[in-house]
């Protein structure tokens, strides 16, 4: 599922509930208190008009209730950036004492416009565009604020009026647990949206939305309680190179699949940006793909739709962890429906899949063919099969007709080309398996494998935590008169810096 790298009925999720917002500053009730918790009181604070969802290190959730907020390192700012909170953010010293201002202006007819005004010489960006000191820029729902560089994302702005309208199509089970944010991508099986768990932690998730109208057999594919064996198995899959599935929720029209969010986007987009990968980089990423697909095959899953759009990257670095997504779609929408849909986009499909048109059984060897196509694209920057005047794409795939033109392949090793040849073998019985590919001389690179294993050792369990199952109750805290993240922080002595 595109994260890209980039998921109705209720699916139960075994997790601790994430606290609901604790920053309203409302007076605590004196009744219904049990062990420091109390039931949800009536809101006495002024309802907010928006939120700033933190997406960068050190930034915190801001509930917007006033028409103007000043952000900076000055302790007089409405939102003060404190050094202790930004210990892991290398850009802290480039945040100005008065960095930017968020302004809401309301017109005579009641409509409002939100601006970001830049007060810093170091840089404030909206959706990647530099505002410039003294200038202001309109920010709309799901707009991104970055500072002091375009890469250092700080917040996603949510206009609650627009967000609430946008979320009307989502089932209650999703809306209770998540705030739905921006569009991340779209594929043949649906679209993907960014979502944040409700509460102060604001963990990021991806939610894939699949229209059941596209799949004739999908109306009964997911039980409303999420207790079909297929869904249980998918939720139990656990591998560092596999996107985690947390839940599946079904409505009359759609399936909503709750997924781990992967920061670095799709391998497809990386290839668009860089054209092709250095052989050492391709080898590192491809080794992880082989390991991930072997894990799926060992668990009895055939992916069926391996392509660069379904390989997500954890970061923008060359040496990055990859994660395979969209591996369980046949369990949700039906194998025959899925394959008949995918046969309309045959670039990465194996010859036996195209020959069957999704009507005959086929085996996991089809994934090995797709991996061969992916490796070819990574190393050459273009696909091995493409429509030509004298021969259709399907005809080329069925015949295994491709080549290695010297102008594109002169710098690629013979071992890499040999692995591609053995994966792009038309007869599936003669094609290299994933296990055999892992033993190929090009892959048996000890330094590369050591680097890959370090990437695959999880050092941050945050993304493996299941999202909240319900709206949590508030915790009583008599020592805090106001826990809002938009209140002033303790004094910072750092001066405004420019670069």
User: Is residue 212 domain-shared with residue 178, that is, in the same domain?
Assistant: yes
Look at residue 78 and tell me whether its pLDDT is greater than 60: yes
The predicted pLDDT at position 216 comes to 53
Residue 186 and residue 147 share a domain: no
Statement to judge: residues 178 and 210 lie in one domain: yes
CATH number at residue 377: 1.10.510.10
Within-domain flag for 10: no
Count the neighbouring beta carbons within 10 Å of the beta carbon of residue 281: 19
Q: What is the C-alpha to C-alpha distance for residues 264 and 57, in angstroms, rounded to an integer? A: 16
432 near 293, Cβ under 8 Å?
no
Residue 305 falls in the annotated catalytic set? yes
| Residue 421 and residue 360 share a domain | yes
Same domain? 247 vs 208: yes
Q: Which two tokens stand for residue 28?
A: 């605590």
* Burial tier of 233 (Cβ tally within 10 Å: 0-12, 13-18, 19+): middle
Task: Let me know if residue 21 belongs to a domain.
Answer: no
| Band of pLDDT at residue 459, cut at 50, 70 and 90 | low
Residue 483 domain-assigned (yes or no): no
Question: Which among 23, 159, 166, 305 is annotated as catalytic?
Answer: 305
Beta-carbon count within 10 A of 163 CB: 17
- What tens digit of pLDDT does each residue of 357-416 get? 756 667 899 999 999 999 999 999 999 998 776 788 888 999 999 999 999 999 999 999
Closest CA to 260 of 213, 303, 322: 322
Do 327 and 296 contact (CB within 8 A), yes or no?
A: yes
Q: Which helix (H) or strand (E) holds 196?
A: strand 190-197
In a domain, 7, yes or no: no
Instruction: Give the per-residue pLDDT at 12.
Output: 37
Our separate counts of H helices and E strands in the chain read 14, 21
Give the CATH number for residue 228.
3.30.200.20
**Domain edge (last residue) among 163, 198, 220:** 163
* Rg (the chain; Cα; Å): 25
Are 254 and 274 in a shared domain? no
Which neighbouring-strand residues pair with 196? 179, 204
The alpha carbon dihedral of 90, 91, 96, 99 has a sign of: negative
The answer to whether the beta carbons of residues 273 and 285 sit under 8 Å apart is no
CATH of the domain at 65: 2.60.200.20
CA 142, CA 30: separation in Å to the nearest integer? Answer: 38
pLDDT at 23 over 50: no
For the chain, give the mean pLDDT.
Answer: 79
pLDDT-wise least confident of 204-218, 284-298, 367-381 = 204-218
Average pLDDT over residues 270-296: 96
- Residues 257 and 302 occupy one common structural domain: no
Query: 140 and 271, same structural domain?
Result: no
Q: Do 306 and 451 lie in a common domain? A: yes
Beta strands in 201-284 (DSSP E): 204-211, 245-250, 254-260
Question: Can you tell me the distance from the alpha carbon of 476 to that of 27, in angstroms, rounded to the nearest whole number?
Answer: 10
Give a yes or no: residue 247 inside a domain: yes
Question: What pLDDT does 338 receive?
Answer: 62
* Chain segment 263-278, per-residue pLDDT in tens: 888 999 999 999 999 9
In a domain, 53, yes or no: yes
Q: pLDDT higher for 253 or 71?
A: 71
Collapsing DSSP to helix, strand or coil, 112 comes out as strand
Is residue 133 within 8 A of residue 120, CB to CB? The reply is yes
Residues 200 and 137 in one domain: no
φ/ψ (deg, to 5) at 223: -70, 145
Domain boundary among 262, 294, 313: 262
What is the full DSSP assignment across 130-153? Answer: E--TT-EEE--TT-EEE-SSSSSE
Query: How many residues are given for the chain?
Result: 499
Residue 10's pLDDT band (cuts 50, 70, 90): very low
What pLDDT digit, counting tens, does each position of 165-192 carry? 777 788 888 988 988 888 888 766 678 9
DSSP string for residues in 62-93: EEE-SSEEEEESSTTSSEE--GGGGTT-TTGG
- H or E segment and range at residue 337: helix 335-342
- Within a domain: residue 485? no
Q: Does residue 414 form part of some domain?
A: yes
In which domain, by residue range, is 245 found? 169-262
Q: How confident is the model at residue 417 (pLDDT cuts 50, 70, 90)?
A: very high
Q: What is the pLDDT of residues 462-499, one digit of tens each?
A: 444 555 555 433 333 434 434 344 434 333 333 344 33
Q: What is the pTM of this model?
A: 0.70
Domain count, the chain: 3
Note whether 125 and 217 are same-domain residues.
Answer: no
Residue where one domain finishes, among candidates 262, 287, 313: 262
- 133 and 198 in a single domain? The answer is no
């Amino acid at each position: 599922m595109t994260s890209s790298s980039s998921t109705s009925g209720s699916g139960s999720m075994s997790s601790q509930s994430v606290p609901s917002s604790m920053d309203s500053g409302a007076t605590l009730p004196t009744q219904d208190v049990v062990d420091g918790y109390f039931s949800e009181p009536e809101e006495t604070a002024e309802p907010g008009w928006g939120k700033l969802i933190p997406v960068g290190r050190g930034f915190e959730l801001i509930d917007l209730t006033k028409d103007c907020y000043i952000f900076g390192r000055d302790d007089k700012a409405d939102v003060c950036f404190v050094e202790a909170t930004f210990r892991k953010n290398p850009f802290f010293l480039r945040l100005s004492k008065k960095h930017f201002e968020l302004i809401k202006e309301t017109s005579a007819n009641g409509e409002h416009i939100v601006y970001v005004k830049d007060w810093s010489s170091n840089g404030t960006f909206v959706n990647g565009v530099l505002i410039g000191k003294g200038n202001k820029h309109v920010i709309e729902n799901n707009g991104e604020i970055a500072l002091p560089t375009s890469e250092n994302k700080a917040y996603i702005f949510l206009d609650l009026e627009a967000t609430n309208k946008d979320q009307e199509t989502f089932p209650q089970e999703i809306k209770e647990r998540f705030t739905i944010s921006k569009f991340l991508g779209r594929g043949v099986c649906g679209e993907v949206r960014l979502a944040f768990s409700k509460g102060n932690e604001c963990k990021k998730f991806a939610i894939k939305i699949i229209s059941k109208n596209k799949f004739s057999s999908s109306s009964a594919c997911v039980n409303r309680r999420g207790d079909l064996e297929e869904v249980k198995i998918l939720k139990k899959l656990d591998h560092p190179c596999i996107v985690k599935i947390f839940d599946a929720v079904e409505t009359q029209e759609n399936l909503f699949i709750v997924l781990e969010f992967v920061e670095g986007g799709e391998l497809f987009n990386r290839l668009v940006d860089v054209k092709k990968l250095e052989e050492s980089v391709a080898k590192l990423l491809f080794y992880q793909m082989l390991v991930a697909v072997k894990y799926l095959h060992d668990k009895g899953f055939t992916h069926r739709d391996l392509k660069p759009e379904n390989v997500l990257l954890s970061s923008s670095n060359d040496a990055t962890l990859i994660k395979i997504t969209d591996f369980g779609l046949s369990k949700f929408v039906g194998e025959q429906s899925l394959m008949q849909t995918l046969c309309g986009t045959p670039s990465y499909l194996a010859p036996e899949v195209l020959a069957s048109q999704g009507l005959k059984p086929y085996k996991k060897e089809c994934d090995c063919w797709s991996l061969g196509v992916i490796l070819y694209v990574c190393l050459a920057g273009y696909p091995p099969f493409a429509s030509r005047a004298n021969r259709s794409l399907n005809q080329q795939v069925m015949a295994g007709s491709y080549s290695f033109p010297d102008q594109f392949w002169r710098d690629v090793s013979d071992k890499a080309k040999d692995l591609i040849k053995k994966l792009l073998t038309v007869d599936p019985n003669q094609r290299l398996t994933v296990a055999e590919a892992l033993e190929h001389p090009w892959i048996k690179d000890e330094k590369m494998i050591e680097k890959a294993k370090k990437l695959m050792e999880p050092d941050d369990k945050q993304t493996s935590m299941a999202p909240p199952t319900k709206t949590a109750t508030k915790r009583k805290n008599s020592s805090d008169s106001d826990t809002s993240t938009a209140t002033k922080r303790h004094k910072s002595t750092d001066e405004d810096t420019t670069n």
